[in-house]
A = this chain, B = another copy of it.
Amino acid sequence: MSAEKITLDAVTERMRALVDYEPGAAATASMDHLATRGSMSRARLALSACGALGVDARQSLAIAVACELLHNASLVHDDLQDQDRERRGMPSVWARHGASTAICVGDLMISAAYASLAEIQAPGTIQVAHKAISRAIAGQCADLAARGAARPSQSSHEEISRNKAGALFALPLQLALMTAGLATECAMARDASNHFAIGYQILDDIDDVNSDARNGELNIVTILRARCDRDPVGSAQHLARRHLEMACELAVQLPQGSGATLHELARLLLLRTGQSSISQVVFV
């Protein structure tokens, strides 16, 4: 079986199996949370890259499962840290099961992600995953610290987005490339994902500018406004466009069309910036 034949349902099923080794409150809450799914962008990035690069089905599934589990772990712990009561239209894990169970759920998912990565034969993948997690955690800590900071800068906003979101967007591509014996291409996958993550975060900020201002959260529009930018939303859109165009440019250069899904995700976000010169690319 090839990677293209793996369904997102199969990814969900495997994720749920890996958090269900030992019955208990954390396993049950993890299973419930994973059943809600979400966009599964990281699984799609993994499966598309693995398919393009000819990675076998077992390892493709393992990569998709690991990346989705890490993303979900970060959502569960972030929601608790941010005191967000809702996720995917449902009560978030801590809101439903309490803070202590939510801590255990995230821990279980991180551990399960590594249990999935153990299926991959390529050397160095676990170290790369730990580096990505270390970056994501550093980004989250910097994000938390920036709240209420006197005057956060545009460059700190970029660095936080790059670390917090970029690290886990890049990971599926990096692991696919490493498994296909193309580890040298990982730097470009990281660059493309970083630009994508910054563009994605800026568009999110434009949507959330009012609620972020109320909650004292870092927001690029607020940062630009504080710098006396007369059209902070327009400038933010321009910035997002620049990063997403760069993500597209780098994604098409990834070997054998392995960046197709990243390119498509970036192209769809570009449509939200109002202007886009990027057209759909047919990857063969």
Does A166 reach chain B (CB closer than 8 Å)? no
Contact of A133 among B103, B111, B127 (CB under 8 A): B111
Bin the interface of chain A by size: 35 or more
Q: Please report the C-alpha to C-alpha distance between residue A146 and residue B19 in the assembled complex, in whole angstroms.
A: 22
- A138 to chain B: closest residue by CB: B24
Asked whether A137 and B24 contact (CB < 8 A) given A80-B103, A111-B110, A115-B130, the answer is yes
Q: A22 to B144, alpha carbons, bound, how many Å?
A: 16
**How many angstroms between the C-alpha atoms of A104 and B144 in the bound complex?**
11
Chain B nearest CB: distance from A194 CB in Å? 14
Interface residues of A in 93-147 (CB under 8 A from B): 99-101, 103-104, 106-108, 110-112, 114-115, 117-118, 126-127, 129-131, 133-135, 137-138, 140-142, 144-145
Q: Is residue A226 within 8 Å, beta carbon to beta carbon, of the partner chain?
A: no
Assess A26 versus B138: contact at CB under 8 Å? Given A80-B103, A106-B103.
yes
Q: Which residue of B lies closest to A101 (CB)?
A: B141
A32 CB to nearest B CB, Å:
14
Report if A89 contacts B (CB, 8 A). no
Complexed CA–CA distance, A144 and B111 (Å): 20
Given contacts A118-B126, A118-B127, contact A141 B104 (CB under 8 A): yes
- Is A92 among interface residues, defined by CB-CB distance under 8 A? no
The answer to whether A21 touches B141, judged by C-beta atoms less than 8 angstroms apart, is no
Q: A197 at interface (Cβ–Cβ under 8 A)?
A: no
Bound CA span A137–B129, Å: 22
Looking at A73, A106, A117, A140, the one whose CB has the most chain B CB atoms below 10 A away is: A140
Closest chain-B Cβ to A128's Cβ sits at a distance in Å of: 10
Given contacts A24-B138, A115-B127, A141-B24, are A133 and B106 in contact (CB under 8 A)?
Answer: no
From A23, A111, A140, name the one whose CB has the most chain B CB atoms within 10 angstroms: A111
Chain B residue nearest in CB terms to A110: B110
Are B77 and A107 in contact, CB atoms less than 8 angstroms apart? yes
Q: Are B81 and A137 interface neighbours, CB within 8 A?
A: no
Cα of A103 to Cα of B126 in the assembled complex, Å: 21
A163 sits at the interface (CB 8 A): yes
Contact B108 A134 (CB under 8 A): yes
Point out residues on A near B: beta carbons under 8 Å.
18-19, 21-27, 73, 77, 80-81, 99-101, 103-104, 106-108, 110-112, 114-115, 117-118, 126-127, 129-131, 133-135, 137-138, 140-142, 144-145, 163
A-B contact pairs, 16 of them (CB 8 A): A21-B134, A22-B134, A22-B137, A22-B163, A24-B142, A25-B144, A26-B138, A77-B104, A80-B103, A110-B110, A111-B129, A111-B130, A111-B134, A114-B129, A115-B126, A126-B126
